[in-house]
Chains A and B, each alone.
Chain A
Amino acid sequence: GAVVSQHPSWVICKSGTSVKIECRSLDFQATTMFWYRQFPKQSLMLMATSNEGSKATYEQGVEKDKFLINHASLTLSTLTVTSAHPEDSSFYICSARTPGQATEQYFGPGTRLTVT
């Protein structure tokens, strides 16, 4: 149980274009989802927290107009990287927390984004 999927697993896009990454909780309802980015050999950096039906809360330094997060249902959250630049190339990981579960997060397999 508690499986989180991400799609796509990897994506290459050209500079200036937008790309959408989906995060789905497959066998549970996720009231809260988290989006992280990770650079090679570094730790996870929280970008934003999204709660179903409300606006995402972004971490300091994360451009909310560039990284659009939508948590439209209890099983789906999306991250859209708008006007992508090469420096946005990174590994993006989502996680989800079940209702009433205040501790454990279940992580997706990650999405490798390369901007050329």
Chain B
Amino acid sequence: AQSVTQLGSHVSVSEGALVLLRCNYSSSVPPYLFWYVQYPNQGLQLLLKYTTGATLVKGINGFEAEFKKSETSFHLTKPSAHMSDAAEYFCAVRNSGGGADGLTFGKGTHLIIQP
């Protein structure tokens, strides 16, 4: 079964500081990994994804993530935080690798940006 662990339910950083949100996964199939962002009272928006190929993937809003198979990790980073980055962030892994794949999500990390 697939699982995703996000370390830290809340992460607080200062504006302009590095953002690091941690994600570790367990998958019985080659992992396809995703980071989604959820702003208050809104749906989920894809930040970036890893399927195959380059292990460092770049997404929207200056975010990037690196797939490390040996560490079963897919941590999300951004060099310089903006106030607008304050949101809930979810890491997810595909379920089965076949058909219409559902996603298994982590519990989410609430990112707080301090002025």
Whether A and B are associated in the same complex: the answer reads no
Please report A residues at the B interface, Cβ cutoff 8 Å.
Answer: none
